Structure 1
Amino acid sequence: MAPFSRWLLLLTTLTACTTPSAPFSGDAEVIPERNTAPWDGGAEALPERTDSVDLGPYSDCAFKLAVGDAVAACDDVSLFDQSTCTPGALDDLDTVGFYSLKARPSSSNTAYSGYSLRLPLEGGKGTLSGRALTRQEIGAGSFFTSATLPATPFSPARDLVFMGCTRPTPDRINGCYVQCAQGKVGTVGTFTAARPGIRTRGESESSGLKLVSEASVSLGMPVDVYVTKGHAYVVAVGTASKPGGLAVFNVRDPSHPVLTKTVQLAGDSYWNGVWAKDNALYIASASSGVIVYDISNPADPQYVRAVPNAPLNVHTVFVDDKRLYAMAPTPGDAVLIFDVSSPLAPVELNRVSLGAGGSGPHDAFVYEERLYVSHTEAGYHAFDVADAEHVYPMGGYSFDGQYAHASAVGTFAGRTVAFEGGEYPGSHLRVLDVTDPANMKLIGEYGLRPETSIHNILLRGSKLYVAYYQEGVRVLDVSIPPKPREVAYFNTYRETDPDRTGSSLEGAIGIRVPGDGFIYVVDTSRGLLILSEQR
């Protein structure tokens, strides 16, 4: 998971994701056909539409005054032209819940602004991006709300008013808005407001996946899990009231996980990734680098050391047969490579850096002596790591506005294929032919609602397991990589779960499929969920 500041920045470019054949417009009913014939390796290169596709105005609703006109009260309902609004469309709106708002100014198709609307589940005053609402007329046929945003060094205080008009799907409201400052109309435009707590496509809780058990994690916000030796190791990021750390569960009986131990380190509360090799458990720490624990007794991890010797911000880790790869973003901006032939005593071999700056490397995947790095704003890049002490770049895939986040790589019909997922609204799954890393090409796509995004990806044979934040767990048949086909899902996200805030970075975040017949999922609120696939 990346810093909250990136979420605030990317809200300004929140846009639609895509299906395998056309820009995704919010119609989640569009699902690729069944994969019945083996793939021959052929695929047409698709154009990169980026994550900033403008689909035009969201509504015919409009504010009657023009930009620059004097206005006595921005929240005067009579100043909104609602003649094109659908009668009865808003009659059954809930008075509580979370909405993600995307505002599109009429004067521009690129300067989007994003806001989060919270209507407390217990009732009472709501907020718009943390600011108390000044009008809150939502429910019983109305979606009319406003708030005042404070002055900044670059702008005066602004009044924002949103008027709902249509409801294209149960989870979405479209309408028009106005922003006023110093008694004049500043910006007019249209908006869409998606409510992630309402499922799309008429989905039930699940299809093809069954909840076997659920175990809460009291350490903070759980974010990742690794399963080995009959135990699930869940790491959590600390919050204002909770310390973060490691929770160890005995899952030899998956229907009854048993918490055996919790582990914290003083002054070290941001543990974001976890992996294991033999008797060593590796934890990615924002303060200590990679923390090594001895899990000879799997129920009772014992601290061994932290590597490298100097403190470093490590965000995620990846382990193959002989090496540990640690992603160190700002200020490190490097992938650290360790020899782990002695798992409890990692030896640093090299540091690989693009020198691209930005948010640095987020995650990585190693396949056939190639290191594939999801390098956030710098894109997706491949390195030859056959000789860990002499690593060289092989090529990459990038576009404006990218936030490369996670990937999985495999071989299909003799082609090397990467399944690459971005993070933050507007991003989605891309299928890349990376057989020639110097000439990576886009051959397929899969996405759900444009307000949601992927966090983690696992490839097992011809199935891709996706932790898709507010969209829960999605299982895709990728036997024909250009045409990913969803075959199962489990909706983990519920607005009523403790500590939900409506952020797009909530829900299913970590996932492991260790081969014991179960899927282990971490949800940011619910904790550890163990699922089984229904055949």
Structure 2
Amino acid sequence: MALESPSLRAVVLLCALLGGSCSDKQEPSEPPPPVEPWDGTYTPLVDPTDWVDRGEFAPCSFTPPRGTVIDCDNPALFDLSKCDTASLSTLEPHGIYQLDMRHNGGISDFVGIRVPQDGSTGTLDHQPLTRQQLTGGFLFSTKYTQGAFVRQVVVAGCGVPGPGLVTGCFARCTNGKVSSSGTFEAARMTWGRGESESSGGIRLLSETAISTGLPMDVYVYRQHAYVVSVDHEGSPGGLTVLDVSDPGHPILKKQIVLPGDGYWNAAWTKGDALYIASNRSGVIVFDISNPADPAFVRSVPGGPALNVHTLFVDGNRLYAVSPGPAPHGETLIFDISTPLAPALLNRFVVADTTSLVPSAHDSFAYQDRLYVNHFSSGYVVFDVKDAMNPRELGHYVFETTDSSFATSHAGAVGTFAGKTIAFEGGEYQGAHLRVLDVTDPTNIPLIGSYKLRPQTSIHNMILKDKRLYIAYYHEGLRVLDVSIPPQPREIAYFNTFRESDPGRTDDLLGGAIGVRVPGDGNVYVVDTSRGLLIFNEP
């Protein structure tokens, strides 16, 4: 006879002591069946690109045809006769909306609208609103000068098809003429899909505001968090150093701002060196032998101003990706065997020079290969075993049309079932996660994907073991189980975006923007308004 568990024996004893029967005792619950490991098989998928034409969003129109000379800011110019405008009365009188705009003919566009809770003047695409109605309707307009052009954007709601959604029509006008019009679907940037603040056991341990510029990225090293930021609304960007030895109570140790050089977008460390990506000075090197007190050492490679946007350290190599001023961006390779004295080994560019925006943006080094996100040129794989002779091995490109587009912005790479798998994502409207088999760079199939609202965008990601941590802008922090790469499975999240947070704007690229998982049991997230958020690692 099998022995009962200690807990079951305790139940039996309790029943006996109480003089009751144990005939209805609870059997121990069965553990969930184990998840079968991935065997490496998959079915290649067709890539729908980031923005997909879903057809007209609403049965309305802006009546003046293109080229008409007219003041566009007139609600009577919209035909809303087939709309359920009564449903618009259910909208709250404030909020932040992202609009997926479909021009007549299928070309895409997007704008954001913000109506403050205090009733003050809001914004549309960062410009002050000249018409603002979110009570009993959805009517907005803005008018501004851009160089030699006077531009107008006007928006009229048609109905509320579901929670958090508004559909309607819009028009764009230039110098007093109708230049374009179409329909839109707007999503309010409250938490999507009826979600709560968090799931999966994620807890917020601390929140620290960043007072220098707009925070963009964080790197955690030797119990210190190095948060970099960019110039924003008169506040210079720079570096904020926090002691995070107690993650529940970070301590500000130092702030560094360099006049005239305040666009610092990324950070990384090696040994006693802290590397900062600057859009003017290339890579700035600090000595962090005292982690709380970085000391400026030098900028590399020196010479003319150089815009470095992202960094990646792999062994004794530092890869610095620059979107310019080279015509199509470039990647620089440094030898950092002496961490405080990086030596430039080489700089190289992607072969594609025909895409709309073939701009180098980010990279990931793995097993002598460098995976470079080249925006509209796609995801490009280089052999970098010989730093003096990088070879382009292959690329994943997007089959875009006038009514679809996609970009490659960030990624992470690992080995699963003997295959080399890349997790890659774009930025801007509809951007989402792609899972690619990059084992053979000459033939890269799409094998999986993960996407939330089409009005939102992802930003950075970190692969740790079989979990992928994504900074998903308005969608906050997302944690995916990717042990079966063709089927990424969300296991936890934390919604960092709140409309009421100070500094929130109508920007599509707002919210959770940077993420690090350094292995100390915590997850570090940078939010553009809230600053540095520290969570337990679920």
TM-score of the superposed pair, with normalisation by structure 1: 0.86
CA shift, 1:284, in A, is 0.7
SS state of the match for residue 529, structure 2? coil
1:201 Cα offset (Å): 1.1
Partners of 2:299 and 2:174 in 1: CA distance: 53
Say whether residues 1:421 and 2:425 are aligned partners.
yes
Matches within 5 A, 1:25-424: 36-62=35-61, 75-77=74-76, 80-85=79-84, 87=86, 89-105=87-103, 107-110=104-107, 112-139=108-135, 141-148=136-143, 160-178=153-171, 188-196=181-189, 198-208=190-200, 209-310=202-303, 311-332=305-326, 333-356=329-352, 358=357, 360-399=359-398, 400=400, 401-424=405-428
Q: CA deviation at 1:403?
A: 2.1
Displacement of 1:94 after TM fit?
Answer: 1.9
Bigger shift: residues 404-413 or 42-51: 42-51
CA shift, 1:123, in A, is 1.1
Q: Deviations over 1:151-184 (max 9, x none)?
A: 9867x765x5433222233222012345678998
**Closer/same/farther in 2, CA of residues 137 and 320 from structure 1, 3 Å limit:** same
Whether 2:464 is the aligned partner of 1:472: answer: no
- SS of equivalent residue, structure 1 residue 91: helix
8 Å contact from structure 1 (residues 224, 234) kept in 2: yes
Deviation at 1:356, TM superposition (A): 4.0
Summarize the Cα distance change of 1:304–1:204 in structure 2 as closer, same or farther, 3 Å threshold: same
| Runs (4+) off by over 6 Å | 64-74, 180-186
For residue 194 of structure 2, give the secondary structure of its aligned residue in structure 1. coil
Q: CA deviation at 1:103?
A: 2.9
The separation in 2 between residues aligned to 1:423 and 1:60, in whole angstroms, is 30
Q: Say which SS state the counterpart of residue 168 (structure 1) adopts.
A: coil
Matched-pair contact (CA < 8 Å) for 1:465–1:474: yes
Contact 1:462 1:478 in 2 (8 A): yes
Structure 2: which 5+ runs fail to align? 1-32
CA distance in 1, matches of 2:416, 2:513: 27
What is the CA deviation profile of residues 458-487 of structure 1, one whole-angstrom value per residue up to 9, with x for unaligned ones? 101110000111111000011111111111
Structure 1: gaps of 5 or more residues: 1-33
CA distance in 2, matches of 1:314, 1:79: 46
Kept in 2: contact 1:165–1:175 (CA 8 A): yes
Separation of aligned partners in 1, 2:128 and 2:273:
49
CA distance in structure 2 between the partners assigned to 1:181 and 1:334 by the alignment: 36
Q: Structure 1's 236 and 179: CA in aligned 2 closer, same or farther, altered over 3 A?
A: closer
- Higher mean C-alpha deviation, range 120-129 or range 431-440: 120-129
- Retained in 1: the 8 A contact 2:51–2:429? no
Q: Deviations over 1:249-290 (max 9, x none)?
A: 111111110011111223211111100011111111111111
Does the 8 Å contact 1:74/1:180 carry over to 2? Answer: no
The within-5 A match list for 1:9-24 is none
Q: TM-score, normalization: structure 2?
A: 0.86
Write the distance in 2 (CA, Å) between the matches of 1:407 and 1:430.
9
Structure 2 counterpart of 1:281, which letter?
Answer: L
Distance change (3 Å), C-alpha of 1:97 and 1:366: same
Conserved in 2, the CA contact under 8 Å of 1:101 and 1:191? yes
RMSD of aligned C-alpha atoms? 2.6
Partner of 1:7: none
State the secondary structure of the residue aligned to 1:90.
helix
Contact 1:396-1:440 at 8 Å conserved across structures:
yes
Task: Return the alpha-carbon distance in structure 1 between the equivalents of residues 482 and 339 of structure 2.
Answer: 33
Matching residue of 1:451: 455
Q: In 1, are the aligned partners of 2:380 and 2:396 still within 8 Å (CA)?
A: yes
Residue in structure 1 matched with residue 505 of structure 2 by the alignment: 501
Cα displacement string for residues 188-231 of structure 1 (whole angstroms, at most 9, x for unaligned residues): 532112222x1111111111211000111111111111111111
Superposed CA deviations along residues 60-115 of structure 1, whole A, max 9, x for unmatched, are 2345677788989863559633444174x32331222222223323x4122x3333
Deviation at 1:233, TM superposition (A): 0.7
